[in-house]
Structure 1
Amino acid sequence: MIFYFSGTGNSKWIAEQIAKAQNEVLVFMPNAIRDGIEEFVLADDEKVGFVFPVYSWGPPLSVLQFLDWVTLSNYHSQYVFFVCSCGDDTGLTEELFRRALSRKGMECNAGFSVAMPNNYVLLPGFDVDKKELEKKKLDEAVGRVEEINDSITGKKIGFHCNEGSFPWFKTKVLNPLFNRFMTSAKPFYATDDCIGCKRCERICPVGNVVMIGWRPVWGMDCTSCLACYHVCPKHAVQYGRRTKRKGQYLNPNVSISHEAAAQ
């Protein structure tokens, strides 16, 4: 069973490749919460995987909240792993995720990171990758995921995440600040270029965007995945003044019009 969370599609693509290779079922975490599915019964020989993006050098809060909420019955040392997508490095994401699993009485056997195109654009100096780098990352991700699948098939033990420089500072200092101050949807708005296409509503993984009078309105349950910003065909979705000159990115290899809001 592969549990995953994704906004702009990078982690969804990885999850799909792993689920197909391992012949495991895909579960979108926000859908499980929306549908009130609190318990999953694990088969004796089941591989249990978690795939998610790295947000400010840690797992998304929505992933940690899912782990606190869900019950995985019949766990008795099945092979458990995670794969995280990141624009550059992961910090101590492994530590935070393993700690969250341990609170459920589960041991994480392996962890991996996959470099994928950047999509965070809300701070100065942060923008999407140039097209050449975007293509390079997407091309190299194919081989990286194949390597990861080989490790999962062999149930190999070990953690292979690119922590980068100053991982302690990034995860212990910057990540809590991000979660406290940078996950609000209040600065989101739509300019007069909005055409009411509802793509932002459909792509939101947690159903936090609702169309009212042909304009999107944001609620209080934002994950800061920025999918609503990246999907807008008119670049009409903005986050204060921070995004007017920033680029947009969606993974070109998956369909992500989406999950929680559309079903």
Structure 2
Amino acid sequence: MIIYFSATGNNKYLAQKIAEKTGENILSIIECTKENNYEISIAENESLGIIVPTYFWGLPSIVEEFLSKVKISISDNTYVYAIASYGTTTANALGYIKNYLKKQDITVDAAFEVKMTDTWTVMFDLTDENKIAQEQANVETQLENIIPKIQNKQPNSHKISIYHKIGSRFARRMYDNQRKCKHLHVLDNCVSCSLCAQNCPVSAITMIDGKPVWTLEKCVMCFRCLHRCPTFSIQYDDKTEHHGQYTNPHIDLFD
């Protein structure tokens, strides 16, 4: 079983690619959250994989909430692995996964990192198509190295530096501020399609008079609404309008 969170398709792509080789089922954290599904049983001889992106040196808030609520039943021989995708660093993301699972007496046997396109367009420009294509090609190379290890249920020792452990505490405070919905707004070219409201992982958006309104104080800040808006009318302050949009080229469906 592969459990994943994906806003723009990157981590869903990882889950699907690994599942193609291992024959495992994949399960979306977004769907689990919407359906209030927090009881998961892993079959005998089935592996358990957690695949999520790194947000602000840690985990997306929806992943933290899910891991704090979910009850996972495994057998004594279940191989457990975690994958954190990242743009600049995974920092302590894998450490947080290990800690959440440890509370259920589940030990992570192997942890992997996959460098992918960073979709935080507040800082990163996504308009260079050649760069993104190269980043995608590099993902394939990384998967060629990781997948056989998962198939062979190979353990590893993933070390997290004290710098990243301490630094992640400060980064999490920054994340808490950055994910305030007051930063998000819609431009006049909105066509009232309501895709943003329909597909927000935490239902933070309500359509009012044909326009999206963020009705929660905080959201995941996954930018699913921004990147999948057909007219690119959703923006974060004045920092994203010239940085483009991104969705994984191999994934075209919402969870």
Which of 186, 190, 203 is the equivalent residue of 1:194? 190
**Alignment deviations for residues 112-171 of structure 1 (CA, whole Å, 9 cap, x no partner):** 11111111023xx4333632221111011112112211000000111568x799534542
Preserved contact between residue 127 and residue 245 of structure 2 (Cα < 8 Å): no
Distance 2:124 2:102 in 1: 33
User: Where does residue 135 of structure 2 map in the other structure?
Assistant: 137
CA distance in 1, matches of 2:161, 2:237: 30
Pick from 148, 151, 174: which aligns with 1:150? Answer: 148
CA distance in 2, matches of 1:137, 1:254: 16
- 24 and 188 in structure 1: CA distance in 2 versus 1, 3 angstrom threshold: same
Change (3 A) 1:117 1:129: farther
Find the counterpart in structure 1 of residue 177 from structure 2: 181
- Please state if 1:235 is matched with 2:232: yes
1:18-29 aligned at under 5 Å gives the runs: 18-29=18-29
* Secondary structure of residue in 2 paired with 1:216: strand
Query: Which 10-residue stretch deviates more, 31-40 or 206-215?
Result: 206-215
Any stretches of 5+ residues in structure 1 without a counterpart? Answer: none
Q: Work out the CA distance in 2 between the residues paired with 1:159 and 1:49.
A: 16
Q: Which residue of 2 aligns with 1:110?
A: 110
SS at match of 2:143: helix
Partner in structure 2 of residue 128 of structure 1: 126
Q: Match for 1:167: what amino acid?
A: H
Runs of 4+ more than 4 Å apart: 163-166
Secondary structure at the aligned position of 2:181 is classed as coil
Tell me the distance in 1 between the aligned counterparts of 2:102 and 2:187: 45
Gap change, CA 1:207 and 1:99, over 3 Å in 2: same
Q: Which residue of 1 aligns with 2:76?
A: 76
The 3-state SS of whatever aligns with 2:175 is: helix
Alignment map for 1:41-52 (pairs within 5 Å)? 41-52=41-52
Q: List gaps (5 residues or longer) in structure 2.
A: none
- Equivalent AA in structure 2 for residue 195 of structure 1: V
The one-letter amino acid of 1:205's match is P
Q: Give the total of aligned pairs.
A: 254
In the alignment, is the contact (CA less than 8 A) between 1:4 and 1:11 conserved in 2? yes
With normalisation by structure 1, the TM-score equals 0.88
CA distance in 2, matches of 1:65, 1:75: 24
SS in structure 2 of the partner of residue 27 of structure 1: strand
Q: What TM-score does the superposition give when structure 2 sets the normalisation length?
A: 0.91
Q: 1:99 to 1:165 in 2, by over 3 A?
A: closer
- Paired with 2:182 and 2:75, the residues of 1 have a C-alpha distance of 40
Is residue 81–residue 110 contact of structure 2 (8 Å, CA) maintained in 1?
A: yes
* Cα RMSD, aligned residues only: 2.2
Rounded to whole Å, the distance in 2 between the matches of 1:159 and 1:200 is 40
